[in-house]
Amino acid sequence: MSETLSQSIANTIREAIQNGTYSLGDRLVELTLSQELGVSQNTIRDAFHILEQEGWVNKIPRHGVYIPTFTTAEAQEIYALWEAVENLAIGWAISNIPEVERQRLRETLINAEYQADHNNWIHANYALRHLHTVIAIHANAPRTQQILSRIHNQTHLLEIQRMRLIPFSIDEWEHRLELYFDVLHAIDHQDAEHAHKYLMQIIRYEAELVIPYLE
């Protein structure tokens, strides 16, 4: 029960981070959260441990728990790692993604388009990221999935910060969506070459959208 409660609290805090409630660099205070969420500080501490493993928070000894911040060099490294690891994952995953999953992906991308049209940028971004999660899962490589999950979470943080400063423009959204639909089309046709190509374009384009705002 304790583990289930800790996971539930971690889910609540993670959702608040994803929704932009917190900014990069914000401190998460154990006592404050325990009072707000009506649980013990031990439960909050366990939830922090879960989130730290996932890359959503950093625990700094004698200072507390913070939403990570990234230098330009760190962000460049994260995007380079994303490109390298996901390039491997799509090669392993492309023949393993079933039709029912591809249909759900199509519906998710349509929802991302709808959310963007209604200026729900954070929800639209979250919907797009489901494609990367599916690739990581169907690569059937647990270590790769673990690495990618952490990378995805950190790039998600970077994009949230960018959107808090300046939301993506309509042109930026349209280009991103087009690339995501291109990847799905390649997956539908078991076209590994083009799936690789469009995924790399997505990652490089998203790096271009984010990194300049860290300077």
Q: Which two tokens stand for residue 154?
A: 């950190």
Q: Is 215 exposed, middle or buried (0-12, 13-18, 19+ CB in 10 A)?
A: exposed
Torsions phi, psi for 55 (to 5 deg) = 95, 10
User: Tens of pLDDT along 75-106?
Assistant: 999 999 999 999 999 999 999 999 999 999 99
Query: What does pTM read for this prediction?
Result: 0.89
Which pLDDT tens digit goes with each residue over 127-163?
Answer: 999 999 999 999 999 999 999 999 999 999 998 888 8
